[in-house]
């Protein structure tokens, strides 16, 4: 099972102005993604509902890896 690799010092452009996220909820079910054109790779993710702290009324859905740097996301988000 393949997992995402975290690249230190890199972040999505949308996070340049927003450093804090509020997590409304994390799915209990794992979502396995198979990349088009690369069926031998399966990414294990969790779906999260988040908002930027300065606009809590606007929610976004994001996918996060189930394991980050060898640590399960469940442990990180406790």
| Domain-located, residue 1 | no
| Domain-located, residue 6 | no
| Domain-located, residue 2 | no
- Quote the pLDDT of residue 21: 79
| Domain-located, residue 48 | yes
Residue 64's contacts (CB-CB under 8 Å, 6 or more residues apart) are: 45, 46, 48, 73
Q: What is the pTM of this model?
A: 0.61
| Domain-located, residue 5 | no
Say if residue 1's pLDDT is above 60: no
Say if residue 7's pLDDT is above 80: no
| Domain-located, residue 21 | yes
- C-alpha span between 72 and 66 (Å, rounded): 6
- C-alpha span between 55 and 21 (Å, rounded): 10
Say if residue 6's pLDDT is above 60: no
Determine contact, residues 75/68, Cβ cutoff 8 Å.
no
| Domain-located, residue 3 | no
Residue with tokens 């890896």: 65
Number of domains in the chain: 1
Q: Tell which residue, 36, 37, 31, has the closest CA to residue 1.
A: 31
Query: Which range marks the domain in which residue 53 is found?
Result: 13-76
| Domain-located, residue 8 | no
């Amino acid at each position: 099972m393949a997992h995402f690799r975290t690249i230190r010092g890199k972040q999505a452009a949308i996070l340049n102005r927003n450093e804090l996220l509020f997590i409304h909820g994390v799915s209990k079910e794992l979502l396995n993604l198979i990349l088009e054109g690369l069926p031998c790779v399966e990414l294990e993710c969790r779906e999260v509902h988040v908002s930027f702290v300065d606009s809590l009324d606007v929610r976004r859905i994001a996918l996060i890896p189930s394991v980050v740097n060898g640590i399960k996301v469940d442990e990180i988000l406790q």
